[in-house]
Amino acid sequence: MTTVDDTAYRYRIATAEDTEAVNALDASFTTGTVFQVTVTEEGFALREIPVEPPLTKVFPEDEPDDDEDGADGADGADSRAFVVHGAAGDLAGFVAVSYSGWNRRLVVEDIAVAPQHRGRGVGRALMGLAGEFARERGAGHLWLEVTSINAPAIHAYRRMGFAFCGLDTTLYEGTASKGEQALYMSMPCR
């Protein structure tokens, strides 16, 4: 149990019983800035720009995978999901990760913190649990993908030690997120 701002949080490995609450968690965000991506012959450049009015993004429901088990399918030897509950027993957040042995990478498949629990260190603590699992598996680094419009998450990841490492301008084509770019970030395991 961890206490932050007089709120007691309980972190644990997710079970199949957590799936419904994880799927119902509000992962939407509102931002007054986005990252504009400019692709050049030498690579790409990012510039944070204001948006008016502020942009609110509600993520579409995920389509179920054929191999999905547990909370977000992360229950195998190379996958893990963690959940955190607030003092009232409400789901405050979760993280789902998977280990890729060929390149010793721990992939953060999904992470979300409920709006009323944001800014309290919950995401950092969840990422800490992901880092512990990464070390158990022998990972050299953690890796994630984030949309270019999710400036709040990008700032949080950078404060945690993540750095930009790649870009995909076509990942979201044919989806509700068309026009956004996928930014990849990584952080060495400590």
What does the pLDDT read at residue 60?
Answer: 83
CA–CA separation, 70 vs 20, rounded Å?
Answer: 10
**Collapsed DSSP state (helix, strand, coil) of residue 100:** strand
User: What is the rounded average pLDDT of the residues 36-49?
Assistant: 95
Residue 4 or 2, more confident: 2
Contact 168, 143 (CB under 8 A): no
Residue, of 66 and 119, whose pLDDT is higher? 119
Question: Global pTM?
Answer: 0.89
